[in-house]
Structure formats: structure tokens, C-alpha cells
């Protein structure tokens, strides 16, 4: 079957393209009742519910509260026994991610006006953050780094981590990454149970102020349900990549980059838009060749055949317009002069420019965050940043002179809205 090629000039293209635009729609109705029940059990029963859920979903049975927590000694042992090249790679990633996010730090400021008015902004980190790290189909130490490091840079007092540990066998690389991050508290709890525990607390897991981190539809639904009681980063769907390429692109590069997202999940989407029919045809051939080699070829094939597409346009301008409608999580621009196209890109989670910048570079060591908006939400969401772990307070101070200058206008606006106490609050100071 293979990946499908769509031509913008075909009569049925509009319908085919609308299906691509709807790729991120998740039918949560089916799981919402299950997730709501899990969260309610955690709220009412605390650790007792967590024990029951872990036995059911993660195939091991905690006996006492302390069994839920990963010890610092476990993390240290895993780090010390880690292959030196892997250790070096983790430290490189940590340093680059931290350096990038330090540049994002918002500043507190004060503005002094001549009449004695002082206006400003006070930036403060949240007291406690919760990070969810998936651990079902695969382990993602990179997700740990990408979520924990911005919280560290923001200055959060306490960061806790939850992750599912199947059969009570923690992943050694994840343990090593936890040690590098200096995580004092990590809990072996996954899925909606973990989100509920972080949102409302249990005997062992403290309630947090913000929850970040990716997960499956149960995790995403849980985050949606607890939002408002805590803050969340975003509700992320399956991973996706969009590529804009012209005839100068190497078919092998494009093919393997499309597959780099397809291997994540059967629900992932990989979309190439090009003005070169020749490139499109060659990419199809290269995809089939690479699929023979991949360890996750079954997942990648299902993804690429059901949710992948190559769109052939009349020119690159049309390709840009269509990609802006898609608003992909990851966008690669592989053309002769990619930086010339950058000003025309309006919607994308992360933008990768040039043939030597494949999306996996952003997943691991470039520095910018890889927790990105999916399903077209890049039109209004941004990547995870330091600011998710911080909040801003406005600062206002009026002098006697300032309130005399502007008080009557303020009182008039209050009176117009029918708020007498507001009006009098100001007028009392003008007597």
C-alpha cells in the first residue's frame, strides 16, 4: 500500500486535506468516564487507590507507602554503571537544554513615572511542579530532561516526577537521567492515577501547582479534567512532522525523517509537502527501503500508511500556505534557501532549517524544548518553556499627586458601570 501521494489539482484534494487537518482530534468520550473514576478514587482513597491501580495496570503490588518511591541510591547506582558514552550524551543534552532555557527567563521590572506612579511586574516560580514521564511502549529520558530542566531554571522549590514502572523494573537510563537532574522525589505511578495524585495529593505524593509532560490518551484526558485545580502545560496528542521540500532535497533524508515520527506511534502523522513530483516518487521508494530495516517497522508502517501523506503542489508558496493550515508540531524546511521561507511560516511548534537539521536533533541535544503543541494547536500554543513554571503579579503604586491627576476619570468609569463602592473608594482619597 505505502504512503499516499495527494495532488492539489485533483478534485478530491479538499476532502483529503480536511482529514489531515482533523488528525489531532481525540475521541475522549470513550475514556473520560474511566479516567474520571480513576481520579475520583485517588482523591478519596489516596495511596490505597494507587496500590490497586498499579497492580492492575503495571503488574506489581506495592506493600507499603515507601514502595511507591524510587530511592536516590537506585538513581546513583544506575548513573555510576552507565556506559561512559551514554553518560556523556546525557550531560551534553542537559547542559544544552539548560543553557537554552536560561535565556527564556522573564524578568521582574518596575517603571517609575514622574508623578510618583510605580507600575511593574513581579515574576515568581510556582512552589511545586509535577512532571509526568511516559513508560509504557518505550522509555523517554529525553522527556524527563525537557520537562525538569525548565522547572529547575525557573527556580521551582520542589519538583516531583511520576512514571509508570512495569513489573517494578525501573529503566536504568531513566534512573541515570533522574540522578543527573538531581531529582529528590520520583514515584512509580503512571497513567491517570499519577495525574490525579499530583493534582490532589496522596499520603505519599504531594499536591503540585502545575503538571507537565506527555502521555497517552488517558494521561491527556486526566490533564484536561484536573486543569483549573492545577495548571498544565498543554493537552498533547500523537507526535507529528511536517516537511516542506523542493527538488534539491535528498529523498533518503526526507524519507527517514518522515519515519522518525511514524515509529513513535501508530497514531503519529508524517506529512511531506513538495513542488517536486519526482521527489515525491523517490521518497515513496526510500520509505519502503527503510521500513525493511527499522526495529519498529510495524508501528511505522501503520502510521505512515494510515496517517501519512505526500502532497504535491504547484509551487513552494502553495506548500507554505498548506503547511500553515496544518500547523505541525515539528516542521522541517529542506529547500535551497530555507531561511528565506522562515518569515512566511506562521504556525509550527519547532522549525528545523536545512538538510543537516533533522527533527531528532531537536528531540535530544539542540536545546529548545521538545514538548510541543500537536494536532494544529501550534496556531495558539507554544512549546513548553520556563514560563510554564512561573507566574506574574502586577505591581501598582500611586502617589497622592498621581491619584489626584487620574482619580476622577477612574471614579467616572466606576460610576458608569454602576459600582458605587468602587467610585467612592477613589473619591474618598480626593477629598
Active site residues: 329-330
Strand partners, 353: 333
Q: Distance between CA 89 and CA 365 in Å, rounded?
A: 8
Q: Distance between CA 352 and CA 169 in Å, rounded?
A: 36
Q: Distance between CA 186 and CA 189 in Å, rounded?
A: 9
The string of DSSP letters for 18-71 reads HHHHTTT---THHHHHHHHHHHHHHHHHTHHHHHHHHHHHTS----SGGGGEEP
Phi and psi at 108, nearest 5°, equal -75, 150
Tell me the residue length of the chain.
431
Measured CA angle at 72 (ends 70, 77), to 5 deg: 100
Angle formed by the axes of helices 297-307 and 277-291, nearest 10°: 150
Find the helix or strand (DSSP H, E) in which 199 lies. helix 191-200
C-beta atoms surrounding 249 within 10 Å: 24
Scan for cell 556506559, then name that residue: 83
Alpha helix stretches (DSSP H) within 58-140? 72-80, 84-102
369, burial (CB in 10 Å: exposed 0-12, middle 13-18, buried 19+):
buried
Q: Return the sign of the alpha-carbon dihedral for residues 241, 257, 180, 168.
A: positive
Q: Distance between CA 303 and CA 298 in Å, rounded?
A: 9
User: What is each CA distance from 58 to 16, 52, 67, 81, in whole angstroms?
Assistant: 39, 10, 14, 26
Amino acid at each position: 500500500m505505502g504512503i499516499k501521494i495527494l495532488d492539489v489539482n485533483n478534485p478530491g484534494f479538499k476532502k483529503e486535506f480536511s482529514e489531515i487537518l482533523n488528525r489531532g482530534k481525540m475521541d475522549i468520550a470513550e475514556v473520560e468516564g474511566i479516567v474520571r473514576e480513576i481520579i475520583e478514587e485517588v482523591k478519596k482513597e489516596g495511596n490505597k487507590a494507587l496500590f490497586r491501580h498499579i497492580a492492575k495496570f503495571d503488574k506489581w503490588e506495592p506493600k507499603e507507602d515507601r514502595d511507591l518511591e524510587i530511592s536516590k541510591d537506585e538513581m546513583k547506582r544506575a548513573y555510576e554503571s552507565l556506559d561512559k558514552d551514554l553518560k556523556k550524551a546525557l550531560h551534553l543534552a542537559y547542559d544544552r537544554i539548560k543553557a537554552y532555557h536560561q535565556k527564556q527567563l522573564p524578568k521582574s521590572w518596575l517603571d517609575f513615572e514622574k508623578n510618583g506612579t510605580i507600575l511593574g511586574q513581579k515574576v515568581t516560580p510556582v512552589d511545586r511542579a509535577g512532571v509526568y514521564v511516559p513508560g509504557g511502549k518505550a522509555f523517554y529520558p529525553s522527556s524527563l530532561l525537557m520537562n525538569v530542566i525548565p522547572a529547575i531554571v525557573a527556580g521551582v522549590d520542589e519538583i516531583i516526577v511520576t512514571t509508570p514502572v512495569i513489573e517494578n523494573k525501573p529503566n536504568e537510563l531513566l534512573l541515570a537521567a533522574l540522578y543527573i537532574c538531581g531529582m529528590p522525589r520520583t514515584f512509580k505511578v503512571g497513567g491517570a492515577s499519577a495525574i490525579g495524585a499530583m493534582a490532589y495529593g496522596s499520603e505519599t505524593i504531594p499536591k503540585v501547582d502545575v503538571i507537565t509532560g506527555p502521555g497517552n490518551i488517558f494521561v491527556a484526558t486526566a490533564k484536561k479534567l484536573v486543569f483549573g485545580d492545577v495548571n498544565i502545560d498543554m493537552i498533547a496528542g500523537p507526535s507529528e512532522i511536517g516537511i516542506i521540500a523542493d527538488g534539491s532535497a535528498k529523498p533518503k533524508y526526507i524519507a527517514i525523517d518522515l519515519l522518525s515520527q511514524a515509529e513513535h506511534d501508530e497514531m503519529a502523522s508524517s506529512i511531506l509537502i513538495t513542488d517536486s513530483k519526482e521527489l515525491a516518487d523517490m521518497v515513496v521508494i526510500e520509505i519502503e527501503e527503510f521500513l525493511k530495516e527499522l526495529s519498529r517497522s510495524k508501528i511505522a508502517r501503520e502510521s505512515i500508511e494510515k496517517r501519512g501523506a505526500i502532497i504535491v503542489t504547484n509551487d513552494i508558496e502553495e506548500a507554505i500556505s498548506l503547511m500553515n493550515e496544518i500547523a505541525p508540531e515539528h516542521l522541517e524546511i529542506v529547500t535551497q534557501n530555507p531561511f528565506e521561507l522562515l518569515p512566511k511560516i506562521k504556525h509550527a511548534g519547532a522549525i528545523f532549517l536545512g538538510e543537516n537539521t533533522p527533527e531528532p536533533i531537536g528531540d535530544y541535544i539542540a536545546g529548545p524544548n521538545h514538548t510541543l503543541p500537536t494536532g494544529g494547536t501550534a496556531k495558539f500554543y507554544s512549546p513548553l518553556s520556563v514560563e510554564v513554571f512561573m507566574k506574574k503579579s502586577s505591581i501598582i503604586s500611586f502617589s497622592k499627586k498621581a491619584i489626584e491627576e487620574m482619580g476622577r476619570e477612574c471614579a467616572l468609569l466606576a460610576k458608569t458601570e454602576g459600582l458605587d463602592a468602587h467610585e467612592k473608594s477613589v473619591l474618598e482619597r480626593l477629598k
